[in-house]
Structures are given as C-alpha cells and as structure tokens.
A and B are shown apart, each in its own frame.
Chain A
Amino acid sequence: MLKVLDTAELGTWVEAIIKAHDVIGIQARADKFDFGPLAKVQDLRLDYDVSLNAPKRFFLLPDEKLFTFKKDEAKSAQAAEPFVLFGVHPYDLIALRQLDKLFEMDNPDVHYLSRRAKAIVVAVDVQKPSAHVFAGCLGFEHVEDSYDILLTKIGNEYLADAATAAGEKLIALGKGFTKADDTHLAARKKIWDENKQALRRHELKPNKAQITAQLEKSYDHKIWKEKARLCFSCGSCNLVCPTCYCFDVADRLNWDLASGERVRTWDGCMLEDFATVAGPHNFRNQREARYRHRYYRKGKYVPDKIGEFSCVGCGRCIGACVTHIANPVEVYNAIMEA
C-alpha cells in the first residue's frame, strides 16, 4: 500500500503511534543520533545521518537472561513485548534481515525471533549521509523488502510504503494520508539512485563477489599483520557492527549455589579470549589472526552461509576504532592489489 503524507502532518501521525504503541525512535543524543524510547514526537529525527548504536540491540540484547534454573527444573525467561522501531536506515534493515536468516538457521533462536516477530519496523531512506558510510558501494543504500513501512522524503511529502498488515494498521492511525501515484515511485527511484552515489564516503573498488573470491587467496596477505599491530583487541568494531551477532553464555548462581540464571552477553571475535576453549587452548591467540577473522566473516564465511555479503557499509566500525585500523574499504581494496 502506497500513501503520501505532507511533512507537516507527520507529527500528528507519529503522536498517534506513540499513544497506541511503545515506540523506539531515532533521536538526537549529545552531538550524535541514537535509538531510544520515543517520548514525544518532537524528538524524532528522521533527518539523522547514522545511529550511534545499531538497532540489533533491541533484538539481540547486550545482556539477556535466557532462563532460570533449579536443580532439576528450568523456566524460560519472559516473552518479548511488542514495540515499534521507528526510523531504521536501509543498510541497518538489511543487517536485521541477515540476522533473521542466521537466527532462523539450525536451532532457531526463540529469544531473538520472538522479539523480531513482535516488532513493527518503520524504515526511512537516508536523508543525510554519515561521515563514514559506504553502503552505496555495496548496493545497500536502499532496501525493497523486510520493512513494515518504508518512508521516503520527497520534497514536502513522505511517501509511505506499507508492505505488511501491521504497517497498514499503523498508517490507518494517521489522518491526511493520500494516494500515491507513479510520479512518487519515480521520485523514490531517483532518491535511491542519488543515495547510491551519496552513500559512498569511502570508495570500495571491488564488488562483493570479487571480494569473496579474493579472500580465498588472501589468508597470508601482509595487511593483516600491518593493521593488527595497532589493534587493541577491544572488540569495538564487533560490538558496533549491525551484523555481528556472537554471544557468550554463562550461569549466574544464586546464594544457594544450586539455582540461578543462564545469561548471554555480547561477545566479539576480536577479544583475546573469544576463541579460548577447554584446555585452555586459544586457537586464535594472535591479534592478526583475530583481525583477519573479522574480514573473513564479513566477506566470506557469512556470505557462504546466507548468500549475502555481511558488511552493510554503515561505517560504524570506522568511527568506533580508536586506532583507525578498522576500515573495511581500506582492507578489501588492499587485498585486491595483492
């Protein structure tokens, strides 16, 4: 369902959504933007460049109780609550789509999937490119599925594309929506084309397939050692990444030392002990091995699993790395020159 809303009417519509739903919306935070509970419509900033934190944290929680246990008994943690996630950029939605695939595979992850199933996602096309975004190089500047509603700002109007029944219901909460026509679709296509050029603050030379193929023969490339020399193994690039999904699982005992809760927390392959197993043996105990692993995950291992390149070009890792070594564009360009 395609509708159009005058930008002046957006506030009234969002207000109605806030009244009817819990809304996590994009808003200003210090000199940046971030997702958080949206208390009032005035805080919503659809003109943002990039959110400080990727939306994955609302589905794969940084710290999460999975279940509580007693000696012979376990009880699953409480079910997910529904909410509306308002203002997700296309590259971040593509990241969520990838996590959906990964968490549906093998043993479906009920904790992640139940939150996803209950969430209504309102995506928005990028209006202002961030400092490090390169999604345009990857074709991830726009998205054509996986949203409940996609909003695109076209002049003084928002084109609202509702792709699901839940999305249509949200639109029904608004007044002043009018019918869209082919000129709106053509205008959106033009914005997508423009964003493909605008969302490339770093220029990735190879295409996705070329990177995946080149990684086959880049295991001993000098770049891994060169870059890893300045790696803190701090995991910042992992944790800000919208497609990194590794976690650790631990038991927290109660004072009876018999009952407790099982929790999972974010983990990252850059951290020194990430690959430590019984023994103890650490099969990636060198910084360069860990550093290399991340680029193989994004460029080869995960693509081999789900058939899609697993770096979406949001550029958060570039900004988050204190020593400026985490730019995937630099790395993938360099291996092509081997």
Chain B
Amino acid sequence: MDRPRVAIFDFACCEGCQLQLYNLEEGLLDVLGLIEPVEWREAISDQSDSYDIAVIEGSITRKEDEERLKDIRKRAKVMIALGACATIGGVNKLKNQFDFGEVRRTVYGKDAEAPHLDTARVKAVHEVVPVEVKIHGCPIDHFEFGTILKSVLAGKTPSIPNYPVCVECKKKGNICRYEYNEVCLGPITRAGCGAKCPTGGFWCFGCRGLLDNPNVDAAKEVMDIYGKTVDDLSGRLLLFNNQS
C-alpha cells in the first residue's frame, strides 16, 4: 500500500499541537513509515495541493480562512481536526465575548483598521466543514495522536472517550478537587488526557471540550455545596468552552 499523503495546515493557533508531534521523538520515524507528509510548515518546506488526509490545526477566525478551509476539504478524503483550537475553537473563542472592533484596537492599536486584520466570530473546524476525526486537547497528547492515526490507517473507527475526566482521575486514584471546594470541570469534560491537570493537583480546565451529553445544569446546581456560584463555573467554562 502506498503511504497516504498527509498535509498539515495551521490556522489561528500557537502551533503547539504541531510541535507535539515532534514529542513522539523516535516514534516519529514510525509515523513516517506509514504516511508521506507533503505539507507541514514546521517540518518541511514542501507544499502540495494533492493529499489524502488533511490535518487542520487552529481555529477559523476570518472569512478568507473559511474559503481556504473549504478548498482543503474539497481535496482531502479525510479531515482531522488537531487540538482544542480546531476541535472546539479553544481559547480563541474568548474573543467572541467582545466587540470585534474593540478587539482589533486592543491587539493592533493604530493598525487596527488594516484590511488584512479583519476578524470574525471564531469557529471550530467542524463549524465550517465536516470533520471525520477530532484529536482533542490543549495541547494534544502525542500518544493519542499515534493511537488515532493508527486506527484511521487500519480502517477502524478511532476510540475517543465520551466519558468524563473523573474516570481517569479515579483510575489514577486521585483525590477529587471538589474535596477541596475547587470548581473542577472534570465531571463535564471529555477524558483522554489521562487527567493530567488533576493528577498534578490542579482543577480541570476543560481543554478537551464538553462530553457529548454533559450535565451542565447539575454542575450549576451543586455550586453552592462547595461555596461557589454559577458565575464561578461559567468563568471557568469561558476559557475553552465559550459557547458564543
């Protein structure tokens, strides 16, 4: 079998998820045995309009980005969203809270009105084009990237958790952050990270996005048990899970 041609494209993001792929270290050689990268800005200087799998990093923030993404979609057989910016909009969606003119003036000052600095509502990749596979997280877990890539190449449906981070906390035997009256997004956030933040003694930021069917109402209702308010919860949710 010919190695499938894979192109990695970055949109609005820090490109840290692309960088995570290097953290596969010698595992990267295994990846290269199975795929042929034809465009990958951080790794190679080649560019190509011909590919089987398109990997999209970053969120979609401008009209011209939407057009570029639709063009990529037409060429790709499979589209993979890579990282929180691509899968859920990520921290970029914080912008959707504000007036876009004000956002531009804050970031670009006197150049704010330059035409190429136009900005629009931030969208995740699937809000613009259909996506076959989402690799969640900020940043992604490079081992999960490997697992998912292997599934895709073997023609299987990748197994991406639809259970919350609590499951991974309990498997690790962690003490629940709620025991210390901390608002942790673990109970409504998709697992797969191995509960890295709670294991390190921190509440879950929700970077992998909400579950398919999160009980957000329950989360709100129990805030007072922990001496917290719904605003405390909403504030935490804004960082990665701004629904606007």
- Residues in chain A within 8 A of chain B (CB atoms): 29-30, 32, 34, 52-53, 57, 62-63, 229-236, 239-240, 250, 252-253, 255, 257, 265-266, 268, 271-273, 287, 320, 322-324
Contact = CB atoms under 8 A, between A and B. Distances in A.
Contacts of A63: 171
A250 B154 CA distance: 15
19 contacts: A30-B175, A34-B173, A230-B221, A232-B214, A232-B215, A233-B163, A233-B211, A233-B215, A234-B164, A235-B167, A236-B166, A236-B176, A240-B170, A250-B159, A253-B151, A255-B27, A255-B146, A257-B154, A323-B225
Given A322-B187, A323-B221, 4 more contacts: A62-B172, A239-B170, A272-B162, A272-B213
Contacts of A239: 166-167, 170-171
Contacts of A231: 215, 218
Interface of B: 27, 30-31, 33-34, 146-147, 150-151, 153-154, 159, 162-164, 166-167, 170-173, 175-176, 178, 186-188, 211-215, 218-219, 221-222, 225
A288 B156 CA distance: 32
A322 B222 CA distance: 8
Contacts of B186: 234
Contacts of A233: 163-164, 211, 213, 215
A265 B222 contact: no
A57 B167 contact: no
A141 to B, nearest CB: 25
Per DSSP, chain A at the interface is loop
Per DSSP, chain B at the interface is helix
User: Which A-B residue pairs are the 4 nearest by beta carbons?
Assistant: A239-B170, A62-B171, A255-B30, A234-B166
B90 to A, nearest CB: 23
B173 A271 contact: no
B212 A265 contact: no
Contacts of A272: 162-163, 211-213
Contacts of A266: 167, 170-171
Contacts of B214: 232
Contacts of B211: 233, 272
B215 A230 contact: yes
Contacts of B27: 255
A311 B150 CA distance: 41
Nearest to B211: A272
B173 A234 contact: no
A29 B174 CA distance: 10
A30 B175 CA distance: 9
A235 B170 contact: yes
Contact of B171 (A229, A265, A271): A265
B163 A323 contact: no
Contacts of A322: 166, 176, 178, 187, 222
